[in-house]
Amino acid sequence: MNLVRSHAAARCRRRHACLGLILATTLLAACGPTPPAAAVNPAARLYAINCSGCHGAAGQGVRGMQPPLAGTPVPNGEADVLLAWVMYGRRPAALPRGQYAGVMPQFAYLKDEDLAALLTWVRASFGNRAAPVTRSMVAAARLAQPGH
Ligand code: HEC
């Protein structure tokens, strides 16, 4: 009788231990390593997808090929000039032709809210401290484009 009871108790303890292990594993998985910023912040993700291949994850650029976005005039300048360049390739005065061997694609196909979020993020990252770009600024840039 005693033997049966102690067997049952042992089984019960084991089951508890097992449940505890499952719970601990689930909790560990839930609070596992923090995902990289790009997975969390949609604007950082847009940058990673569209820009970082050329301008670098830290906006550092590639010498002679692509300019840095950290501290350079166009990303930190007037929003409409920046938008005209990024969306339509209209060359800003602060970016004289022939400095870089690379060619930048145009991004007018991105949605207004994505362009606004992405450029706002660039203007607040890499040590940049420029004012946000709003969706209405992006819409205005589309209207200002000849042929619209
Ligand atoms: C295929 C490479 C490539 C990609 C992708 C790219 N760029 Fe560029 N970008 C360039 C090159 C090359 C230049 C310089 C072009 C020139 O002087 O003719 C440039 C210039 C710039 C400048 C002007 C920098 C300055 O010196 O003031 C800005 C701002 C900029 N890019 C933003 C972006 C953003 C934002 C994205 C993503 C939406 C992006 N670029 C994606 C290649 C790229």
- Atom nearest to 110 CA in ligand 1: 38
pLDDT at 28 (0 to 100) = 46
- Give the pTM: 0.80
Terminal Cα-to-Cα distance of the chain (whole angstroms): 90
pLDDT at 21 (0 to 100) = 46
Ligand 1 touching residue 67 (CB < 6 A): yes
Name the residue among 110, 111, 112, 91 with its Cα closest to residue 100: 91
Q: Which long-range contacts (CB under 8 A, 24 or more apart) does 40-43 make?
A: 41/121, 42/117, 43/117, 43/118, 43/120, 43/121
Are 129 and 121 spatial neighbours (Cβ–Cβ below 8 Å)? Answer: no
In angstroms, the CA 13 to CA 25 distance is 18
Are 141 and 86 spatial neighbours (Cβ–Cβ below 8 Å)? Answer: no
Strands (E), the chain: none
Express each pLDDT in 38-81 by its tens digit: 457 999 999 999 999 999 999 999 999 999 999 999 999 999 99
What does the mean pLDDT of the chain come to? 85
Name the residue among 67, 48, 59 with its Cα closest to residue 123: 59
Which residue's CA is the closest to the ligand 1 atom numbered 32?
86
Going from the Cα of 34 to the center of ligand 1, the distance in angstroms, rounded, reads 30
